[in-house]
Structure 1
Amino acid sequence: MKKLQPHIITVKDLITNNSLDIPEYQRPYKWTLKNVNQLIDDIITHKKKSSYRLGTLVIHKENNISNIVDGQQRTISLSLIAYAIYEKFKNEIQNDKQLKSIDFEKLKILSIKFQNDITLFNIQNNYREISRRIRQFDIYSIRFFFEKCELVQIELDDISEAFQFFDSQNSRGKDLEPHDLLKAFHLREMQNISTTEKLNVVKAWEEMDSRKLADLFENYLFRIRNWSKGYSARYFTKEEVDVFKGISLENKTDFPYNRLYRIGHFFTEEYNKNYQRNIDLSKADFPFQLDQVIINGKRFFEMIIYYNNIISNTDKLDTEKFQNFKTINEILTTYEGRYRTGDGYVRTLFDCALIYYIDKFGINDIELVINKIFVWAYSVRMKLQAVQIASIDNHALEDNLFKAIRESLEPKNIMNYSVKPIEKNDSTKTEIIFKHFEKLKYVN
């Protein structure tokens, strides 16, 4: 990376920079009332200081446009505060030598036509709250806000370096989720595709709730990938994000192992671009597998949305056609202890194994296999009075059904997997599960 040349700018400098822009690939504006109230509280608390540092702004400079790579949320919020101050204190500002030169009617950031519904809602909601809060300001607070509140601005002329800086800076922070870092990494891997295509690729990701994304990675994708390879999967943190980094097919280096992925990638691309798709309206998805090597960039985002859809629909199998699935689903959604934390861990273990099987073999022989997956997963619950995250992690590694699924070539291989019967039920509030174990002949 080139040497960075950071410099200090004031809020006044920020809001009067007409070259600032927010690129289409940025995530929606998600600051809440809590965030803007905290920012205003900080400004009021520190207004007697000689200066107050608000954070970092990372800029990618391109064709006289300063695209905000990192700092978008704070920049929009500061612009909202600036405009609310102007609306409330026009006369005071016009009579102030330092502030009257600011053209508040042409604030660049607020002139952007935002399209995202989340962004629009949060801007409107936060502006109303800011308008209420700035009644606490006086002329001294206003001067402090515009002239003494500062940011560290870093300008880079290479988009790859900009995202790399964003990635490295935030991997040390406390406010970003692991999936945010993955987004930055894989956006950086998409530098050879158009902005429009980037926007289309990331659109579905942006529309997902952040907590849902975190749950998808932590409870399903991370655990399945690690358990299938024989690795522990207790917690998905920033230190484990490399699990979702892989190969870049635009790289000229061509190792034998990645040729299969290269063929699948470029065939899918060409198939979907062919004029015949305008006739048959058919579209080919890349043939993803949960344990595959990750393809960096566009395919990563597609993969996440693909598995979010699969996982969301796993419990919607035709219960009239699959009676065993119906029975087990009724048991797991009605037994007395299902809401306990430990039971939630076991349910995740069961869901992960079922999803991994369906990902590999579809619904072939699912009626036979689901009983085995059920007994394998819930034997942990039957044997222990208290189930911890370590309990399911140890079980997945010591009696590794995931490894068996990974190595299987046909569903019958899973049917041959040996699951030990339990001796007795040491758990509580699980009588209906124990009775089903007896029915399936898995109690000695």
Structure 2
Amino acid sequence: MKVELWPIRRLLTEQALRIPDYQRPYRWQPRSVLQLIDDVRAFAPHGAYRLGTVILHENDGHLDVVDGQQRFVTLVMLAALLDDLAFQDARPSHLATDELAHHTVGQFGLSDSARALSVNAAQARELLASWTADEREAFAQFVFDGCEVVVLSLPRIDEAFQMFDAQNTRGRPLDPTDLLKAYHLREMESDAVPRATTLQMVALWESIKPAEISTLFAELLHPIRCWASGRPVPEGGFRVSDVDQFKGVRQGDPDNEHYAWARPMLYAKNFTEDFTQENAALVRFGAIAPVAYPHQVLQPIINGETFFTFVAHYHRLATRYGMLGDADLHDRPHPIGWFEQHRRDRRYALVRRLFDALLLLYVDRFGDLLVDDAARLFARLVLAYRAQHWAVRRSMVNRFALGQAVGDGGDVNLFAELRDTLRPHALVRRAVPKPVLPANVRAFGGYDDIVAAFWPAIPAPREREDADPIDGADAREEAQR
């Protein structure tokens, strides 16, 4: 590893610097840009100011930016603004735009990057234009020659990303899903996956809203894995320390022949890839159906490409059943529609996520087989629990999910039962009694709504009404008929 101090001038004029395609779009908000300007200006009287660390990967004559891209793009934008304002002031530019290295942001999420840059440039220009020409000139000189970054250059991509992980698990961390994305891109690089495939996986990831990826892991995939294995979801939710559960077997690992647990996944991946390649024409013309890798949420992950298809698969599944996004739910089971009607009611937020996690694990194992019955069962279970408590907290949801809420209908860990069940018929036809509150317990506000929706009153059978009484002979004839 090479460690150097670079003035910002060198960082912005380094021709070998490159933003690789796997980088996420530029997403800094105006507040962060203005804060950077204020911080630099405040430190100007005190000498050199260090703007953090940039991690680079020495790659075939280029220096790929692994960490520090957002700050780097912001500095390029500021250099262009200061050059333009210096021209208007008829002053010499401290770093002319044509001196900047010709860098471009990644092609994926380009519209997001352009939109963020446009908004940030307008805000920064307004602030800089409010200063005097002398203030702008002093600021520009200090930015380019008085500010510096620590540059870590590493020859191997796995070392660069390992450093990236270490940098971003301290201080203000990235979302854990960002670290997972970086890790699996690194694995693709280590396995010498074709560049076109890598770009395709980046595009697949960027096609999903970041907030939905975060929710998918934090509220669905991570809790399912915890509860199915008998562990509570930690108080902090899905944390950086939890990402290892979504790292698995590397295809190029020389020890794979000894890993019996990995063979079914590797066999399945090899089969689906061979099938797709050999039957591409037949699939394209609709003669046969494509065969996709059989993802299962509780099985180990194959690193790299399969991880990205895993995320896309569960995002589609969660969207279809109303757990993410705004899917068309008219043909979905009744309980999903009921929860959608109460989407903004925070009283049901936690049990809704519990219902979603159960349903996702169910359809992951059994598809649409008896899914209406399963959805009704899960809704009754979680809502019976909700109806009996004035308030529900995450710790209570943990106990219920793990089968530790004895006496409240939560004495079975359904996640573990689903994990081990081979056929769902007996499971989904389990009876759930209507929640009945003791006389001394006060019902919470939605109790009546829940009972009416999921335990409707069954009308008594009507007695037969005869228009005219009949005599004995007629009665015998009627009885024979």
Paired residues of 2:16 and 2:61 also in contact (CA < 8 A):
yes
Indicate if the aligned counterparts of 1:114 and 1:120 stay in contact, CA closer than 8 A.
Answer: no
Please give the residue correspondences for 1:211-230 in structure 2 after superposition, counting only pairs within 5 Å: 211-230=211-230
Residues 374-422 of structure 1 show CA distances to partners (whole Å, capped at 9, x for unaligned) of: 1111122011101111111110002311111111101114136565653
1:108-165 deviation line (CA, Å, top 9, x unaligned)? 2546685621112222222222222222343221111111111100111111111111
Residues 52 and 150, structure 1, Cα contact 8 Å, conserved in 2: yes
* Unmatched tracts of structure 2, length 5 or more: 404-411, 459-481
Aligned partner of 1:269 in structure 2 is 273
Whole-Å Cα distance in 1 between the matches of residues 436 and 174 of structure 2? 46
Change (3 A) 1:397 1:422: same
The aligned counterpart of 1:331 is 338
Q: State whether residues 229 and 416 of structure 2, in contact with CA within 8 Å, keep that contact through their aligned partners in structure 1.
A: yes
Normalising by structure 2, we get a TM-score of: 0.83
Q: Which position in structure 2 is the counterpart of 1:423? A: 436
CA–CA distance in structure 2, aligned partners of residues 349 and 58 of structure 1:
40
Query: Structure 1 pair 104/319, CA: closer, same or farther in 2 (3 Å)?
Result: closer
Q: Mean Cα displacement is larger for which, 23-32 or 234-243?
A: 234-243
Identity of aligned residues (%): 28
1:118 paired with 2:115, answer no
Alpha carbons 1:57, 1:152 under 8 Å: kept: yes
Contact 1:227–1:396 under 8 Å retained in 2: yes
Question: 8 Å contact 1:342–1:389 — kept in the other structure?
Answer: no
Q: Secondary structure of the residue that 1:29 maps to in structure 2?
A: coil
Q: Which residue of 2 aligns with 1:80?
A: 77
The answer (yes or no) to whether the contact 2:23–2:106 under 8 Å persists in 1 is no
Is the CA contact (8 Å cut-off) linking 2:44 and 2:142 kept in structure 1? yes
* Deviation (angstroms), 1:319: 4.9
Q: 1:313-367 CA distances to partner (integer Å, 9 max, x unpaired)? A: 11468756x7xx23x34433446xx644341001111111111111110111123
Matches within 5 A, 1:353-368: 353-368=358-373
Which residue among 304, 310, 321 is the counterpart of 2:311? 304
Q: Which runs of 4+ in 1 moved over 4 A?
A: 91-96, 109-115, 316-320, 416-421
In 2, are the aligned partners of 1:58 and 1:154 still within 8 Å (CA)? yes
Q: Secondary structure at the match of 1:193?
A: coil
SS at match of 2:351: helix
Q: 1:429 to 1:262 in 2, by over 3 A?
A: same
**Contact 1:79/1:109, CA 8 A, preserved across alignment:** no
Q: TM-score, normalised by structure 1?
A: 0.89
The equivalent residue for 1:249 is 251
CA 117–440 in structure 1, closer or farther in 2 if over 3 Å, else same: farther
Gaps of 5+ in 1: none
Computing the radius of gyration from Cα coordinates, the structure with the larger value is 2
Could you tell me which of 165, 186, 189 is aligned with 1:188? 186
Instruction: Give 1:269 shift.
Output: 1.9
1:206 maps to which residue?
206
* Structure 1 Cα separation of the partners of residues 426 and 419 of structure 2: 10
> How many Å separate the matches in 1 of 2:269 and 2:100?
43
Q: Does residue 30 of structure 2 align to residue 25 of structure 1? A: no
In the other structure, the counterpart of 2:392 is 387
- 1:104 alignment partner, one of 97, 100, 108: 97
- Aligned to 2:231, what secondary structure does the other structure show? coil
Matches within 5 A, 1:58-207: 58-90=55-87, 95=92, 99=94, 102-110=95-103, 114=107, 116-135=110-129, 136=131, 137-191=135-189, 192-207=192-207
In 1, distance between residues paired with 2:400 and 2:350?
A: 12
The separation in 2 between residues aligned to 1:19 and 1:342, in whole angstroms, is: 55
